Structure 1
């Protein structure tokens, strides 16, 4: 064994020992409140990755889409066609608010989506519930942030994971979350005149 290889092995052994010591202290399990926010792309994509992990482990889960009802969605198609016995999927929105141009209808649909969300979260059979683009509904005050925070802190079952996506997450939501990821926009093809494409955006 060369000196360089031996030095590397010793360094990695020390790193592993330190890592194992840290991991030995991480023994708690709980249902997480997860927020994916920010201007960058990938918030819903990352959240659906978590849903597909649950499906892969045959764990019951559910999705509520607050906004994207009028849009094609590859994840929705796949789940409804192949995994509907494991994952409930509810598309409650009718498109982005600038497309519907009907505030009262948007509020009505958002409230209905939140009621369905509470029903699914309360169901102990569901390991994870994804609330896709709920942050948009909260940003426009279509649903009450205080109601959402109170429900998640007081009524969410202890072991249920709730994942919420969308730009401009409210500070109140960030405060109670266990995991918050902000997607940072560095570069996007839309700015160069490239439209949303199947397999990438939807």
Structure 2
């Protein structure tokens, strides 16, 4: 049904009469306070996402750089100048002494020997931990302990230190799984191998 012009005017007058009082009322104080607050900041989500991607990219590159630096530092501490040749990295100092003499069942000092076993190629291999690193070394024919795997270890939370006799990192466990032939040496087998000079 179409309204003519007179009907429209009459309808407008009726609505004005019904709501005119409301329109002339003052704005309540709580609404004025809302209107007085600064507008919420509009954030461009595309920019925020780009910033987060850039930050995570820098974090990833920073993490890789830190790992490389840590690996270099550990390598140089385990192997002072003259302790490497073209094909291998060998343990020296306290680590080499512990691998030569310490039994896994004996309490360790700065170096703790964890597991001893015979590798598939016939060499004896031993895993170890220190306050900063863990590793796996195998005894070569010339008597040197050739490092097969070295990994950094995190300090115990709240102490800044790590006890030597702790679980081995996955990288070291993986290297052990790749080399071990049979079972780990028991205490008697380990003592016999040590007394025979690991030959």
Common fold, TM-score beyond 0.5? no
Q: Which has the larger radius of gyration?
A: 2
- Report the TM-score when normalising by structure 2: 0.22
